[in-house]
């Protein structure tokens, strides 16, 4: 390509970047905002500049954060980063860019990089929170701002159907629950019911060939209510020859909570419905290990498992320590209420 042609392309890119709606610097707040407030303002600012509601920007960021936390080695975040977004430098600067640390918007565009300047300082910096959020949000927004457009934009950005599903789920949770603290948890069984459980992680199972036990069994009588341990969205509901009647709920930490061997469900719950911690989702039973409806092949219990989404695969981890923690927290809250 001749020098004139390159200059022409650069000039064209220069002009076209002028039409990018820059995010304007925030006015100085009167009192120092806390972390959550700072992040909320960041979502509003970026949302305004790209034309997306802030809860959609928040949902993208939340998804990115959960994956960055699950894969710390390959997705290192900057110290004090407010966003969880990680973009590899080859994607940011462009595969063929001789300078993988390029921060000049014009040359980044020229080499096909996606990095953009959202903060308006003329630099496309992949360690800058606004630039990172702006880069992803504006690319997703290119396909429109409706629900379907948003999903298409996510697909074009991630090329991963799981990522699209997660962000859409998180968006629904944020839209419904807004600013409430969504980190609250509950023990899956009512504390005043008769139950017993111990750590059974990794025990081999007897039915259906050799499988590692990926979860904790909580033994209780038929019909004891099973409650959601977290805020979340119902991702799966139905029969499985191992788990019997089971229900799967995704939370905002991108953890998949799996409740199995139920005797029945809360009839009003459907896939896509939202739950709060403590909401009754079904009842303890002994379903499973056979055709739909099979029950009684083992004592009634709740099998509870947690799986962490790592982007392409999910890994189970031992839920026992969390169960102990939630049980303690609820016991403490009950004692406090009694004292009042």
Q: 181-240: which residues touch Zn ion (CB under 5 A)?
A: 217
Please state, in angstroms and rounded to a whole number, the distance separating the CA atoms of residues 235 and 306.
13
Provide the 3-class DSSP secondary structure of residue 17: helix
Shortest distance (Å) from residue 335 CB to Zn ion: 30
The SS3 of residue 194 is coil
Residue nearer to Zn ion on the CB measure, 231 or 304? 304
- CA 84-89-93 angle, to 5 degrees, is 120
Q: How far is the CB of 280 from Zn ion (least distance, A)?
A: 20
Give whichever of 160 and 206 is closer to Zn ion, judged by the CB atom: 206
Tokens 């707040």 identify what position?
A: 29
Nearest approach, Cβ of residue 327 and Zn ion (Å)? 18
Q: Are the C-beta atoms of residues 87 and 135 closer than 8 Å to each other? A: yes
In the chain, the DSSP E strands lie at: 195-197, 216-220, 225-227, 232-240, 244-250, 255-262, 264-265, 274-275, 280-283, 301-309, 314-317
Of 111 and 219, which has the nearer Cβ to Zn ion? 219
Residue 84 or 288 having the CB closest to Zn ion: 288
Q: From the CB of 295, what's the least distance to Zn ion, in Å?
A: 15
Q: Left if phi > 0, otherwise alpha if psi is -120 to 50, otherwise beta: which for 302?
A: beta
Helices (H) and strands (E) in the chain, counts: 9, 11
Instruction: Compare residues 246 and 303 and give the one whose CB is closer to Zn ion.
Output: 303
The site map against Zn ion for 30-49 (x = CB under 5 A) is --------------------
Query: Does residue 257 bind Zn ion (CB under 5 A)?
Result: no
Instruction: CB nearer to Zn ion: give 166 or 303.
Output: 303
Q: How far is the CB of 213 from Zn ion (least distance, A)?
A: 6
Q: Which residue is nearest to Zn ion (CB)?
A: 303
Stretch 262-321 residues interacting with Zn ion (CB under 5 A)? 303
Q: Nearest approach, Cβ of 220 to Zn ion (angstroms)?
A: 13
Number of residues engaging Zn ion in binding (CB under 5 A): 2
Using CB under 5 A as the binding rule, the residues of this chain from 64 to 103 that contact Zn ion are none
C-beta separation of 166 from 67 below 8 A: no
DSSP 34: -
Residues 6 or more apart whose CB falls under 8 angstroms from that of 331 comprise 191
Nearer residue to Zn ion within complex by CB, 55 or 303: 303
Nearest-approach distance from CB 215 to Zn ion, in angstroms: 5
Gap between the Cα atoms of 13 and 23, Å rounded: 19
Taking the complex as a whole, the smallest distance from the CB of residue 95 to Zn ion amounts, in Å, to 47
Taking the least distance from each CB to Zn ion, the nearer of 39 and 316 is 316
- Compose the 102-141 pattern: x for residues touching Zn ion by CB under 5 A, - for all others: ----------------------------------------
Q: H/E/C letters for each residue in 118-138?
A: CCCCCCCCCCCHHHHHHHHHH
Binding region for Zn ion (CB under 5 A): 217, 303
């Amino acid at each position: 390509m001749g020098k004139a042609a390159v200059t022409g392309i650069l000039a064209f890119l220069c002009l076209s970047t002028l039409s990018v709606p820059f995010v304007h610097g925030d006015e100085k707040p009167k009192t120092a905002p806390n972390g959550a407030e700072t992040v909320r303002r960041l979502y509003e600012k970026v949302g305004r500049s790209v034309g997306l509601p802030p809860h959609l920007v928040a949902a993208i960021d939340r998804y990115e954060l959960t994956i960055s936390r699950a894969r710390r080695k390959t997705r290192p975040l900057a110290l004090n980063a407010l966003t969880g977004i990680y973009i590899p430098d080859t994607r940011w600067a462009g595969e063929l860019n001789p300078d993988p640390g390029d921060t000049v918007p014009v040359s980044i565009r020229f080499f096909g990089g996606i990095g953009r300047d959202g903060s308006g300082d003329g630099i496309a910096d992949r360690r800058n929170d606004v630039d990172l959020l702006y880069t992803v949000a504006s690319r997703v927004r290119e396909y429109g701002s409706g629900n379907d457009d948003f999903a298409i934009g996510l697909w074009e950005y991630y090329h991963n159907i799981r990522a699209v599903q997660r962000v859409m789920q998180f968006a629904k949770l944020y839209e419904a629950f807004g600013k409430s603290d969504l980190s609250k948890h509950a023990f899956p069984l009512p504390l005043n019911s008769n139950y017993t459980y111990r750590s059974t992680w990794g025990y081999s199972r007897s039915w259906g060939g050799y499988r590692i036990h990926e979860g904790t069994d909580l033994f209780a009588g038929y019909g004891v209510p099973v409650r959601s341990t977290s805020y979340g969205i119902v991702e799966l509901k139905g029969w499985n020859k191992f788990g019997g009647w089971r229900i799967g709920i995704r939370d905002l930490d991108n953890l998949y909570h799996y409740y199995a061997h139920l005797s029945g469900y809360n009839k009003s719950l459907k896939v896509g419905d939202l739950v709060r911690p403590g909401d009754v989702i079904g009842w303890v039973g002994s379903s499973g290990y056979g055709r739909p409806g099979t029950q009684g092949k083992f004592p009634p219990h709740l099998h509870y498992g947690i799986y962490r989404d790592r982007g392409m695969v999910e890994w189970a981890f031992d839920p026992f320590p969390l169960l102990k923690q939630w049980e303690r927290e609820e016991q403490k809250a009950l004692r406090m209420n009694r004292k009042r």
